[in-house]
Chains A and B, each alone.
Chain A
Amino acid sequence: METKRSELKNIIMNTRTLPTLPGIIRKLTQLSENDKSSVQEMARLVSSDQVLSARILRLVNSPSYGFYRVSTISNAMILLGVNVVKSLAMSSSILGIMEKNNIGLWEHSLAVGVASNLISKKLGLPESEEIATAGLLHDIGKVIITLNCPEEEARVRKIADERHIYTIDAEREILGVDHAEVGGWLGKSWFLPEKLVEPISFHHDVELSRDHRIKTAVVHVAEVLSKASGFGDSGDPFVPSLQSAAWDMLKLTDQHLAELVCELEDKLVEMKNFSLETYESA
């Protein structure tokens, strides 16, 4: 089992079989490190890649962000911030794979993105766009597991189903590692910022988060709410326990929770219509 774990880690850290970072991201990183380069310059660079900009615009226009009709990359950068667009660009290859091969997981991810955004707005947290991005990316580890260990993944599904256990426990049993940790490895190997890596790594175990516990707690609560709403499919049908570490960290109240449930259900109705529209027009 330990071998499967280190095998996966090796694959993620050194392999070429992973979706690689396109050269454009490297250039974007250089540009964003240089204070003098403008949003316009970066936007021009992203716009030069048709596929990438199409994906980003579609994401930005999805109800997960709540902006309406963002039609240019430079508007997206102004609205979301350069770093969010950069993270989206980095992750868009993996999100693309998810959207193609596992629509259930894609819908679950969108729902968690939406819920993360709602929670951080309700609590008036800073960087709500980053938190929404973390929510959108929280289960990327699952895509990596599917891509690299299809047989083990089938066994994970099988025992989770047969024994009525959470997917994450089945992963730990079969692989010796879970999708949260794998997602964290991937985030690190792509140099995603820590404020995204921690929520990805610890969304099932808020207490382990150190520097970005608030963001992690938001994504955890978003996960619980999305599972409760039954939107999408992340592997098992069970609502996970709402960890008191997250509840306390965010100083949530019953009132918050009731309002959030209402707002999320509203958004999910919109989202169902949205995905119908995009698939019909695609």
Chain B
Amino acid sequence: MQKIPLKKAAPGMILARDVYRNDSPAGMPACGSGIVLTDVLISRFEQINVQALYVEGYPLKEPGAATYEEVAAILDRRFEKVLSDPLGAKLNQIYKEYFKRAMGEESGDEAK
């Protein structure tokens, strides 16, 4: 699953989460998850001021973007003073798992 700005949305992408109107996030969803995006739907989202969407897979992988290994190395540098501490090590692990998932490194979630 990836969060993308509406500007980058394209027909064929699949919604991974419900879309809410930007002005009433607690209200009824404007569109449910699992729906395949179309041009009509995207312009409708523009009209009601939706800023971002969650879509299945990881469709926007820009060339030159950091790899998971690079992100993990940056995390370890940030955590260098607390890795020997149990809570610090735990948080480091949680962050790594988060990025593994968010960056589509999971098995079976190899998005195109």
Contact = CB atoms under 8 A, between A and B. Distances in A.
B98 A262 contact: yes
B87 A239 contact: no
A239 B3 contact: no
Contacts of A270: 51-52
A148 B45 CA distance: 49
Nearest to A270: B52
Given A69-B23, A239-B88, A254-B90, A261 B78 contact: no
Contact of A244 (B23, B87, B98): B87
B23 A68 contact: yes
B91 interface: yes
A242 B88 contact: yes
Interface of B: 3, 5, 22-25, 51-52, 74-75, 77-82, 85, 87-88, 90-92, 94-95, 97-98, 102
A257 B3 contact: no
A247 interface: yes
> Which 3 residue pairs of A and B lie closest in terms of their CB atoms, listed nearest first?
A242-B87, A241-B82, A238-B81
Nearest to A260: B94
B74 A230 contact: yes
Given A238-B82, A240-B81, 8 more contacts: A228-B95, A237-B77, A239-B88, A239-B91, A242-B87, A258-B94, A258-B97, A273-B51
Contact of B78 (A166, A228, A265): A228
Contacts of A230: 74, 78
Contact of A239 (B22, B23, B25, B82): B82
Contacts of B81: 166, 238-241
A203 interface: no
Contact of A265 (B77, B79, B102): B102
A269 interface: yes
B47 to A, nearest CB: 16
Nearest to B20: A68
A224 interface: yes
A227 interface: yes
Interface string A245-282: 00100000010011001100110011001000000000
A265 B85 contact: no
A241 B78 CA distance: 11
